[in-house]
Structures are given as C-alpha cells and as structure tokens.
Structure 1
Amino acid sequence: MKAVVMPAPGGPEVLLYEDIQEPGLESPSQVKVQIRAAGVNPVDTKIRSRGVFMADGLQAVLGCDAAGVVVEAGEAVQHLEVGDEVWFCNGGLGGSHGNYAEFAVLDACLVRKKPTTFNFEQAGAAPLVLITAWEALFGRGRLAEGQTVLIHAGAGGVGHVAIQLAKSVGARVLTTVSSVEKADFVKSLGADEAILYTQEDFVEVVDRLTKGRGVDLVLDTVGPEVFAKSIPTVAHYGDLVTLLDPGGEQVWKEARNRNIRVGFTLMLTPMLRDLPEARDHHGEILEQCAELADSGKLDLRVSRVMPLEEAAEAHRLVEVGHTRGKIVLIP
C-alpha cells in the first residue's frame, strides 16, 4: 500500500511517499479500515521534527486522525461490520503505524461510526481535536450550563470545536482571535464574544465582560505566555486548563490567591501509557460527538484538502500557523 514514511527526524522534506506492506488483522478484536481521509495535527509536525515517542519507532507512519470504511472485522467485533463508515484516533507516535496511509488495522474499541452529516474529510480531521476539547472542557474543566469559558485561539483546530462543545451545554463563550475575519468565523460557530488580542488586552476585556468576576474556565491552546497572562482572568475557585507545558518560569502567587485549579490535557496519554480504559473512553467521546453533529450542534471546518503524497507541504502549512480549521490528506 502507499504511505508517507518518516525514516528520521527533520524538516518536512524527510517525509517520503512510498510503498510499504499492507497490514492484516492480528487478533479477533481488530478491524481493518480503508482510509479515506487523514487529519494533519500540530503534534504530527512536532514528532516529525523532534523524533517519535516510542523506542524503535522508525520508520514511522505519522497521523493520529482518520476516517474510512471497514473492509474486514475480526470475529470478536460486535459493534462494527464490513462497509461501515467510521472515524478514530490511533497510532502515529512511532510503534504502531499512523494514518498517512491507505489502510489501518486497530482494535475495534477505538473505532466508531462517523456522523452521517460529516463527509470523510470532516470526519478524518475531527477525532483528535474533538477528544482534546471534550476532555479539556468537561473532564478537566468541569464546564456546565450557565458558566463562562474563555477559549484561546478560537479559530484554530481545537478552538473552533471547543466553542461548539461549550455552547452545546449552554455555556457563555469568550474567545481570542487575531483578525476580524476570524472574529466573524468564531461568531458563526456560536461564540458570544470574539476578542481581537492583536488590538485589545484580553485581560482587560474579560474583566469588563465579566464585571470583574472573571471566567469559570480558561482553555489555553497557545503556551506559556498566554497561560501566565490568563491567570487573572479566572474567577476565584475557577479552572485553568492547558494543552501545553506552561514552562518553568511561572509565578503562581495569583493562581494560589484565587484558589485556581490548574489542569492539563494530553489526549495522547492513553496511547503513550497503554491505558485501555481511557482509550475506550475516547471511543465513547466520539459517539457523543457524532450525536451532536447529526443533531446540527457540531460542525468541523476543513481549511484545505490535499493528496497524501503532499504530506510534506501540509506540514509546512501547519508549521506556518494561524490556519482556520484543519488540513486533511486524501490517500
């Protein structure tokens, strides 16, 4: 089968479009999926440039996200059958192959039927960002109806689905964006307030919009500087959840004085630490997201669709940053 292979860490040019051995079922609990679309995520570019997570993980096939059609199912698989259109998040860290390929074989517990309202491109781009946003908002952040959340980089991959998930439970959503165009985009998704951080101090704006109280939850998708600056925007006894390492230079005094609960979300943990129950939960999250999508409460924006052999160029585009929505590769 055709796949994009990473033989060594480096720039986008290390990604090679080659023929590799097509995988087959190795246990009765697995399914084989013909991949119709594979999402490209920032973590893919970081693994490519820094190296894989798993020992002896080269040559690696990257890509955690995928959607496709079940072409073979093991005898123990009960919730899926040949011909089902599915989506999942698995592999791509080194070790087990990821989804920059024509086929994938994986445990069926990780695979769920995709939303009927999503095409393959949308479904292939969605799992990692949906699971990340869901765990950050509801698992770590305890977001509930009537609360207010500040979502940084609302036009990005995680941000634009986090806005919709937060609105689905009746939360008030404030979000930061870099341009008027992106402000219009996030408002079309349901954001109540779009803060242009290039023109305004988001701390001052949040203070004004919440009448000095602060927000119940901040979701940081950017990094240490934004994390630190967000602390005074959190209400007393509120939550600050980050997807990234906040760095070793943080000053925690104000966070402590506010009794803030700080949380971390790394949706790759179940794969990295081999936690089967947590991986099953990821499948359950995708089921709930499929219901939201099919009820018209969730959309996934794809910014660009590219052939699989252009994976290197897709990585270059992601590394430039400031994309709106997701980039998808088509085998």
Structure 2
Amino acid sequence: MKAMVINEFGSAHCFQEHSLEEPSLLPGQVKIHVKASSVNPIDIKIRSGLVPALTPDFPAILHGDVAGTIVEVSPDVKRFKKGDEVFALGGGVKGHGGALAEYMVIDERLAARKPEGLSMEEAAALPVVSLTAWEALMERGNIKKGDKILIHGAAGGVGHIAVQLAKKQGAHVTTTVSDKHKADIALKLGADEVVYYKEEKVKDYVERVTGGKGFHLVFDTVGKETLDHSFQAAAAKGTVISTNTRSTHDLSLLHGKGLTLHVVFLLLPLISDEGREKMGENLSKIAGLVEQDRVKPMLHQSVYGFSEVKEAHQLLEKGKHIGKISLLNDLK
C-alpha cells in the first residue's frame, strides 16, 4: 500500500510517500480502507519530535483520526462486518499505525459506525475533538442544566464541539474569542456570551457574566497563561479542566479557591489498553447526537489530499484556520 510517512523528526517537509506492506490483522482488529483523516495538534507535536515516546517506529505513519470502510475483520470480531462505514481515533502513536495510508488496522473497541448524513471528511474531523470534549464536559465535568461554564476558544477544534455539547446539557456558555468573526461563530454554535480576551480582563468578564462569583467550570485547551486565567475565572470550589498542562504554574490560587483540576490526555487508552471500549461507546453516543442534528463538525474551507499533508500541517501551525482541517485519501 501507499502511505505518507516520516523517517525522522522535523518540519512538515519531512513527509514522504512510501510503498509499504499492508498491515496484517491481529485478534480483535478490523482493517479499514481509509477514506479520510484530519489534523490535530498532537500530530504536529509527534512529527516535530516534541513527544518522542508517543511516536510510531520509523517509517512512521501519523494521524489518529480516521474514517473509512471496513474491508476485513478478525474472526473474533462481532461488532462490525466487511462493508461497514466507521470512524475512530485508531492510532498514529507508538505501537499503532496511523491513518495516512491506504489501509489501517485498529482495535474494534475504538471504532463506531459513521454517522449517517456525514461525508467521510466530516466524520474524520470528529474523533479526537469530540472525544476530548466529551470526556472533559460529560465525564470529568459532569455538567448539568444551568451551570455557568467558560470555554476557551470556541472556534477551535475541541472548542466548537465543547460549546455544542454544553448547550445540549442546558449549560450557560461563555467563550473567549480573538475577533468578531470567531465571536459570530461562537454565537452561531450556541454560546450565550462571548469575551474578547485581548480587550477584556478576567476580573471584568467574571463580574459581567457571573456577578463576580466565577464559573462553575472552566475548560481550557490552550494552556500556559490561559490556564492561569482559568484559575482566576473559576468560582470557589469550581472545576478547571485542561488538555494542555505541559507548563509551570503557581497553584496558590487553585488552593485558595479549593478548585478541582482535571487533565484530559485522550491517547491514554491507545498507550495503556485501558478504556478502549469506553472510547468506542462514546463515539457511538456522539454519532447519535450528530444524527439528531445536535452536534455538527465545522470544517476549514479547504480540504487537502493525503499527498498534501505538508500543507495541512503548515496551515495548522500558522493558526489561521477556522474549524478542523480534513484530508481525503488521494493515494493511488
């Protein structure tokens, strides 16, 4: 099969097309004819060498998000059959080949049936961001009707799904944005309030939106200074959930307010084998919400081919995109 691989860490230019043997099935696995994938920040970090412990062996096939059609199943697989259309966070990390290839084998527990009505590129945009938002808000945060929550970055990959999930639960959602275009997107997604974080200080929007009490829950996917702002914005005994904590912080405010801090690291089930069934189950729930038109992925205006993965990575690194960057398999 053909695949886009990296043979060393580096810039987006290190992607090369290679011809490799098709992966063989192990017990409990399905083989997918890959139709689409998408780019996530973790893909950039793996390619760049920032997390070498997570990198597949060279030549490495990256990207975990996948959508495609099952072409073969192991004899012990019961949930799927040949011809099923599925989507998953299936690999692209140590011990698991990624989606930038004609074929990908994954643990059946990680997969779910593709939501009806979505294209392959739309479905491939969902797994990482929707599973992250689900774990953060539905499982760790246990949000409920009437909760006042703050989501940093509504126009981002995880953020735009988080806003929709929070509104589904009946929460009052405030989100931070950098400009009016992103504010319009946030409001269209259902946000109740928007904050222009470059113009309004934390204490000012906490006063404006919550009467100075703070938010029940703050969801941060940015990290660094934004995590500090999250501690400031949270109410006493509130909850802060982050996906980006690779930095040093003063935790005295966390202590002073009696806050709870959760860290979401979505790839743990791929690394440890624990929790894979839950990932597939959560994807099935998300697919149901998509089919009910309660959650919808937002795609960047340009869809790239696998052969253009370099350009897709460069776009994500520039941070000028809106929505998820999807890729269609054009390897022949």
Using structure 2 for the length normalisation, give the TM-score. 0.95
Q: How many residues align?
A: 327
Q: Does 1:70 align with 2:61?
A: no
SS across alignment from 1:326: coil
Q: Is the 8 A contact 1:100 1:329 kept in 2?
A: no
In structure 1, C-alpha distance between the alignment counterparts of 2:168 and 2:320, rounded to whole Å: 25
Task: Name the counterpart of 1:310.
Answer: 308
- Does residue 300 of structure 1 match 2:297? yes
Unaligned runs of 5+ in 2: none
Contact 2:56 2:93 in 1 (8 A): no
Q: Deviations over 1:197-242 (max 9, x none)?
A: 1222244112211111111100111111011122121111110011
Report the Cα distance in structure 2 between the residues aligned to 1:210 and 1:4, rounded to whole angstroms.
49
Q: Given the superposition, is the C-alpha separation of residues 136 and 44 from structure 1 closer, same or farther in structure 2, using an over 3 Å criterion?
A: same
Amino acid at match of 1:295: Q
Cα 1:56–1:221 change in 2 (3 A) is closer
User: For residues 124-169 of structure 1, what are the alpha-carbon distances to aligned partners after superposition, in whole Å with 9 as ceiling and x for unaligned?
Assistant: 1110011111111122222122101100011000000000011111
Give the 3-state SS of the residue equivalent to 1:239 in structure 2: strand
Cross-structure match for 1:168:
168
Q: Give deviations 1:229-273, integer Å, cap 9, x for gaps.
A: 22121111110011011522x222222121100110010111122
Compute the displacement of 1:195 (Å). 1.1
Does the 8 Å contact 1:10/1:49 carry over to 2?
yes
Contact 1:37-1:67 at 8 Å conserved across structures? yes
Contact 1:52 1:58 in 2 (8 A): no
Q: Secondary structure at the match of 1:194?
A: strand
SS state of the match for residue 190, structure 2?
coil
**Are the structure 2 counterparts of residues 194 and 56 from structure 1 closer, same or farther at C-alpha, using a change threshold of 3 Å?**
closer
Structure 1 equivalent of residue 109 of structure 2: 109
The answer to which of 280-289 and 88-97 deviates more is 88-97
Name the CA distance, whole Å, in 2 between partners of 1:182 and 1:56.
Answer: 35
Looking at structure 2, the residues matched to 246 and 208 of structure 1 have their Cα atoms a distance apart, in angstroms, of 31
Read off the aligned partner of 1:6 and give its amino acid letter: I
Could you tell me the percent identity over the aligned residues? 38
For residue 67 of structure 1, report the CA deviation from its aligned partner.
0.5
Matches within 5 A, 1:170-249: 170-245=170-245, 247-248=247-248
Are the equivalent residues in 2 in contact too, given 1:155–1:182 (CA < 8 A)? yes
Q: What letter matches 2:171 in structure 1?
A: A
After TM superposition, list the pairs within 5 Å mapping 1:1-331 onto structure 2: 1-27=1-27, 29-50=28-49, 52-54=52-54, 57-245=57-245, 247-248=247-248, 250-275=249-274, 278-303=275-300, 304-331=302-329
- Within 1, Cα distance between the matches of 2:203 and 2:19? 51
- Asked if 1 retains the 8 angstrom alpha-carbon contact of 2:290 and 2:296, the reply is yes
TM-score of the aligned structures, taking structure 1 as reference length: 0.95
Comparing 180-189 and 52-61, the one that deviates more: 52-61
Q: How large is the RMSD of aligned CA atoms in angstroms?
A: 1.4
Q: Say if 1:195 and 1:296 are closer, same or farther in 2 by CA, change over 3 A.
A: same
- Matched to 1:43, the amino acid is I
- Which amino acid is 1:48 matched to? R
Structure 1 unaligned spans of 5+: none
Question: Which stretch of structure 1 is more off in the superposition, 229-238 or 289-298?
Answer: 229-238
* Distance of 2:282 and 2:310 partners within structure 1: 30
